[in-house]
Amino acid sequence: MVKRSKSNESVKLKTNNERISKNSKLSKDESSISWCNYTYNPWQNCRKISSGCRFCYMFREKSRYGQDTSKVFKSAPATFNKPLNWDEQSLVFTCSWSDFFIEDADEWRADAWAIIKETPHLTYQILTKRPERILEHLPKDWEKGYDNVWLGVSIENNDSKSRLHELVIVPSKVKFISAEPLLERLDFTQEEMNILENHYHWLIIGGESGNDNGMHRYRPCELEWMEYLVDVGTKTHMPVFMKQLGTYLSKELGMRDRHARNISELPENLRIQKFPESTPHEILDRMG
């Protein structure tokens, strides 16, 4: 288990444009997701399995370009092997347009693990809604976990809290939770609070983004739900990363950013962007 400091200092990220202007040679691949440098998609498309999937941004974005999302497919070699071209220490959100542990990708996953192992300077953030499949699909030399892999689960409502318990049995150097899209107040029992304090190292919070009409909409979110999770993070010594308020609260509060991703627009008590204690300082220096 990674030791956490109770006073883990908040790190404010630059916007994507600010990061690109600072290091223009990375601008082609740089991600607009505020808690990573890059996204890596060895395969694409997914299948909806829970409430959080209903208005998934992947389906929204691909529909804009008329792309078929009905079948999971392996990405072209240039995309599959892209991490081999990234030289600087970086955070890499893995499978932002799919799920790393989706059944459809079983035949390709070993090759992706090989690339992950070959690039130890990259820290791979693997977020899944299928934690029950992790143990049977880890590489043979996983042991207590690769130093450069963080494993996380999405918990969008109380019905999905079972993922918290499923990931806890998986050995990993860093475990994290993404409460995005946050669809209701998450009520953690004392047992679950103990699990968070002893086994989890990071909490991402975000409201849902989407359109006002059509197939890809958004659902309400309340500031109180987010404030409660910040308090959970404080009580369990778990660093919190406030990603966005989402489209609903952006409209309710009259914000300029339609997804409320600009941290300077957030209520002061939610201007929090922390990382796990073990995050390499070189990465924090790049993003801060």
The pLDDT score that the predictor gives to residue 288 is 67
Query: 122: closest CA among 112, 137, 110?
Result: 112
Does the pLDDT at position 13 exceed 60? Answer: no
Query: Alpha-carbon distance 169 to 43, whole Å?
Result: 26
**What's the rounded Cα separation, in Å, for the pair 62 and 57?**
8
* Cβ count within 10 A of residue 271: 13
Contact call for residues 285 and 256 (beta carbons, < 8 A): no
Q: Does the pLDDT of residue 221 top 50, yes or no? A: yes
Interatomic CA distance for residues 94 and 86, integer angstroms: 14
- Residue 3, classified by CB atoms within 10 Å of its CB into exposed (0-12), middle (13-18) or buried (19+), is exposed
Residue 276 burial by Cβ neighbours in a 10 Å radius (0-12, 13-18, 19+): buried
pLDDT tens digits, residue range 24-49? 444 568 999 999 999 999 999 999 99
What is the assigned CATH class of domain 16-287?
alpha beta
Residues 53-111: tens digit of each pLDDT: 999 989 888 888 899 999 999 999 999 999 999 999 999 999 999 999 999 999 999 99
Residues 6+ apart with CB under 8 A from 112: 42, 80, 100
Domain ranges, ordered by start, for the chain: 16-287
